[in-house]
A and B are shown apart, each in its own frame.
Chain A
Amino acid sequence: MLTTGDVISIVFFLSTLLVLLSGLPIAFSLAGLSLIFAGIGYLFGVFDFSTLLNLPLRYFGTMTNEVLVAVPLFILMGNVLERSGIAEALLITMGKLFGALRGGLGYSVILVGALLAASTGVVGATVAAMTLIALPAMLRAGYQPKLATGIICSSSTLAQIIPPSTVLIFTADILSAVNQTAQMRLGNFAASTLSAGELFAGALLPGLVLVGLYLIFVFLKSVFQPNSCPGMVLTEEDRRNLPRDVVLTLLPPLLLIIAVLGSILVGIATPTESASIGVFGATLLAILNRKLTWSSALEAGRNSIITTTMIFAIVLAASLFALTFRGLGGEHMVEQALKDMPGGVTGAVLIVMAVMFVLGFFLDTFEIILIMLPICGGPLILLGVDPIWLGVVVAMNLQTSFLTPPFGYALFYMRGLAPQSVKTTEIWAGAVPFVVLQLIGLGILWYFPSLATWLPGVLLR
């Protein structure tokens, strides 16, 4: 049944997870282990070293991939918005706009989370930024701590799915490659490519559905448990300055984000082009607010390259992982296993999602996507799964995983940042209703796949 290569592939995958848990940098362990298992496979005569000769070409491919340049640019844009205080001002103004309403601060955190989706796509960083800005304000206004942490954690994970998410850029890149191979094997030699813009368009409506579900939940809370989310008390001065604040601090970043996203979605600009304009728009706003100095600009640049290089190190390592895994025949094994899965396509998709969900307890999105999609994406597409739908489901699934207590990644970061007065159990309890909302969202996407596939067809084909 299982060949030697299959057994080595399984041991390879499991030992990778085990070694990653040791806390060594993920990229280095992933790459190093791949080489070790390539060596083991060679000793058993099931790995051909010439497979690895492709590695430099793959790396050159990553280096010259124009679409991936959007990643550092979006990260830089997010950094500029954050460092110049624009993100904070956005939240505060929006808080004042809805603040007097019961649940108003909650609505604004959700909306700002959705808007700042561009900022990084790295869960930890987004949770950190949102917690530092929003949690003190919400607790001061008298929010139930578990509701406050639940709203912040869930809104932070929106950055995974709402475009322009950097995660989706990589997802599109991988799915495009596996889709082409899969279509070729199905005899379709003129397979259309899958662009980052299309996946953005696909993720937009499902992302908005989630935002809607979150908003409805906070609304219901404000109706049935008015004390859990009281309105803010605005001073006379706040009231007087509100119209001016809305025009000066709320509208400009809002327009910038809409312009960047809009130009990608209607197909007049590539993600990279829009991102570069976004960087300059954000910089201009920061300068007009007198919040940008040379040193803060360089600081934003340095922060961006650190996040960028960390992501790309994983890309390079995962590339070696995929090459080795394929060389050992692991990919073929996964394909067979998924094909024979009870329940057909449904069973295959469910099992892949379940594995990704569990991985989400330990690893951040980039690792999971870069390790799992090249292995499982092709077989799923061969079974007839739509690549855009698959990308969106993966993003929403991981987002859910990051929110699930007790291991959820977002909750873990929240624990590190929230004051001690907020109990860990409260953070967990606060996340539960949002996990339920996520599952509802996934259910909707499952039964109405056109939610993800309709818009790209209308906008970009």
Chain B
Amino acid sequence: MLNALRAFAAVIDRANEKLGSLLGGLVWMVAAVCAVVVVLRYGFHMSFTWMQELYVWIHAVVFLAAASYAMLLNAHVRVDIVYSKWSLRTRTIVEIIGALLFTLPWMFVLAWLTWPFVVDSWSIWEGSPQPNGMPGVFLLRTMLLVFSALMTLQCLAIMARGILVLAGDRAAAETAPFARTTSALDNAA
């Protein structure tokens, strides 16, 4: 049972790690496409609606898909007044309660509310409302479901790690995201 949890958490973590590197490259693409739009507009008096939408879309994909990666790195901001003073055990319990009470319900309700919109969008093969805009708006709308799914998985991985920590697993105690009291950003800075 514990082994299954360990394997599950490891798979999710590794997947999100990979995803993070990919998204780090994608943000450069947002800058690149936007810069091309600017050069075409001011340099050549040309503009393509689809291109203007493209960088906005990539940006949306990036910030939605990166949320679970940031969760893996424990980079979502916290108010650190008592948190870092708590024992790992207390932090673990708080973390599991937080996931069950707050994060998972948010993701569930979001998916449930978004589902009909996404289904409608797919059924009419929705494209951009702008003439010559991007096709495939249904894919963009689906990103909200992807966001919800990724966050749910990472949340479950964190809970799995939490259970391992509570069960006395030394390795999990060292690698669980919430075991680190400084965030990835602090380290980077």
Chain A interface residues toward B at CB < 8 A:
20-29, 31-33, 35-36, 52-53, 55-57, 59-60, 63-66, 68-69, 72-73, 76, 124-125, 128-129, 132, 269, 272-273, 275-277, 279-280, 297-299, 301-310, 312-314, 317, 320, 362-364, 367
Contacts and interface: CB of A to CB of B under 8 A. Distances in A.
Given A33-B102, A273-B37, A76 B78 contact: no
Given A22-B83, A52-B109, A305-B66, A125 B34 contact: no
Interface string B109-148: 1100110010000000000000000000000110110000
Interface string B141-173: 101100000000000000000000000000000
Contacts of B106: 28, 31-32, 35, 317, 320
B64 interface: yes
B62 A305 contact: yes
Interface in B164-187: 184-186
B70 interface: yes
B35 A64 contact: no
A72 B62 contact: yes
B76 A310 contact: yes
Given A56-B114, A298-B21, A276 B63 contact: no
Interface string B71-93: 10101111111111010000100
Nearest to A303: B188
A35 B60 CA distance: 24
Interface in B20-48: 20-21, 23-28, 30-32, 34-35, 37-38, 42
12 contacts: A21-B81, A22-B98, A23-B82, A27-B77, A29-B102, A31-B103, A63-B143, A298-B21, A305-B27, A306-B69, A308-B62, A364-B77
B163 to A, nearest CB: 18
Q: Is the interface of A mostly helix, strand, loop or mixed?
A: helix
B67 to A, nearest CB: 5
Interface residues of B, number: 67
Nearest to B117: A56
Contacts of A56: 110, 113-114, 117, 141, 144
A63 B57 CA distance: 7
Given A33-B102, A73-B34, A303-B185, A55 B110 contact: yes
A124 B144 CA distance: 29
B76 to A, nearest CB: 4
A21 B82 contact: yes
B189 A25 contact: no
Given A132-B189, A302-B21, A310-B70, A280 B35 contact: yes
Contacts of A310: 70, 75-77
Contacts of A76: 27-28, 31
Contacts of B84: 23
A27 B76 contact: yes
Given A22-B83, A28-B76, A72-B27, 6 more contacts: A25-B76, A28-B102, A73-B34, A279-B35, A307-B185, A310-B70
